[in-house]
Structure 1
Amino acid sequence: MVYPLNVTLRADSARVRERMLAAARARIAAGDLELPLNAIAKDAGVGVGTVYRHFADRQALLESLASDGFRELVAAAAAAADNPDIADGLRNLLRAGLNHQLADPALAAILSAPESQDAEILALARELLTLSERVLDRARAAGVIRPDIVPDDVRRLTCGLQHAIRSGDDDDAAIDRYLDILLRGLRP
């Protein structure tokens, strides 16, 4: 049995799961995005079968790691959709998407490969898509972006930007410059 993200676990099982997630976060912080499940088991001090009971594979582990960041990104999209200044809302959404990906490599990996296995992540992805479409519809109507821009374009472009930023040692000024370049490219 594999435990989905939204299942309530017994206290001891929850502690073990958190140890495994902490081990995975430590590997990511050290630059290891491969996350071999046998290494996670060793780092967490559990058997590999225990890891597989919680996470069917690396993708499931990444989704568990990224769930909080995904929720925060959905909240940022909701704020952007409700912003009376849609140009500001769009910029805030793009900046939030970029910042969340830079802060959370698991989220960046999930967003760059949009196929998900977990029901909670799928629901969050649908909600993000709906909110992003609302932002883009308003932005198109206000003449802020080109009429052919769709949410998947924005996802791919922000994933590309985070990769470009990670490839150098850029500061916030460079991030803002890249974001400005992106926004100029989206204009009609």
Structure 2
Amino acid sequence: MLEGVTPRAGQGTELRADAVRNRARILRIAREQLAAGDTSLQLNAIARLAGVGVGTVYRHFPNRHALVEALSAERFRELIAEAQAAVAADDPRVGLHRLLRFALDRMLDDPDFAAVLESAADASAQTSDMRAELDQAVTGLLDRARLSGAIRDGVEAEDVRRLLCGVHHAVRSGGGARRDLYLDVLLEGLRPPR
């Protein structure tokens, strides 16, 4: 299956060559818009700039969130790789701290990526697959951390993601200078009760 392509009912997994080119052009224009400071990602405007019909854009990306997910795929893969590296760290608590810092930095740098991580539902199967892969790595890390006595029982990968989203919100709402403190508070809260 092509990267970032979600087959729809009655549609095969392969896109025609012109559809692949159109999708790539739409993503390129969307990235250019973001780089130019236009975060609205209005699908009609992107269609016009890409030189394709509005229907073409909506066939690939039925809404802004679906487009944002596609644009965030590379960052998601980076986060998965960092989570897998954290699992392999000698000290799982150090690995978890490094992973949380990495994820928070990417979320602060890219609010659309943060929105994808915070979202309760995914627009594409690719995002759902990446979320499952991330959760699997984080679950492995949490299991190692629990065995070493560094993490309390009952904390799951989804809990860590939600808590990190809370730290992200706190930092974005004016606590930028307190980012490290907030991360430390989160990590301390994950420890077993004394």
State the match for 1:177 in structure 2.
181
Alpha-carbon distance between aligned partners in 2 of 1:159 and 1:118, rounded to the nearest angstrom: 21
In structure 1, the gaps of 5 or more residues are none
Q: Deviations over 1:59-116 (max 9, x none)?
A: 2212101111111111011001111111101101111211221222222111111321
* Residues in 1 aligned to 2:41 and 2:80: alpha-carbon distance in whole angstroms: 26
Whichever residue aligns with residue 27 of structure 2, its letter is L
Query: Which whole-Å CA distance do the structure 2 matches of 1:19 and 1:169 have between them?
Result: 38
Q: Does the 8 Å CA contact 1:17/1:54 hold for their aligned counterparts?
A: yes
Aligned residues: 183
Contact 1:4–1:118 (CA under 8 A) maintained in structure 2: no
Counterparts in 2 of 1:62 and 1:141: CA distance versus 1, 3 Å: same
Structure 2 matches for 1:125-144, cutoff 5 A? 125-144=131-150
* 2:124 maps to amino acid: D
Any conservation in 2 of the 1:144–1:187 contact (CA below 8 Å)? yes
Q: Which runs of 5+ in 2 are unaligned?
A: 6-12
Question: Which deviates more, 136-145 or 51-60?
Answer: 51-60
For residues 155-184 of structure 1, give each alpha carbon's deviation from its aligned partner in whole angstroms, at most 9, with x where no partner exists: 11111222222223725xx32222111111
TM-score (norm 1): 0.83
Note if contact 1:27-1:35 (Cα within 8 Å) is conserved in structure 2: yes
What is the one-letter code of the residue matched to 1:76? E
Q: Percent identity?
A: 48
Of 3-12 and 150-159, deviating more is 3-12
Q: Where do residues 124-163 of structure 1 align in structure 2 (5 Å cutoff)? A: 124-163=130-169
1:115 and 1:137 map into 2 onto residues whose CA distance is: 25
Residue pair 1:28, 1:105 contacting (<8 A) in 2 also: no
Q: CA deviation at 1:15?
A: 4.8
Distance 1:159 1:63 in 2: 17
Counterpart for residue 55 of structure 1: 61
Task: Please give the residue correspondences for 1:95-114 in structure 2 after superposition, counting only pairs within 5 Å.
Answer: 95-114=101-120
TM-score normalised according to structure 2 size: 0.81
Could you tell me which amino acid in structure 1 is paired with residue 139 of structure 2?
E
Task: Name the residue aligned to 2:76.
Answer: 70
Structure-2 separation of matches of 1:153 and 1:122: 17
**1:5 corresponds to which residue?**
4
> What is the RMSD computed on CA atoms of the aligned residues?
2.5
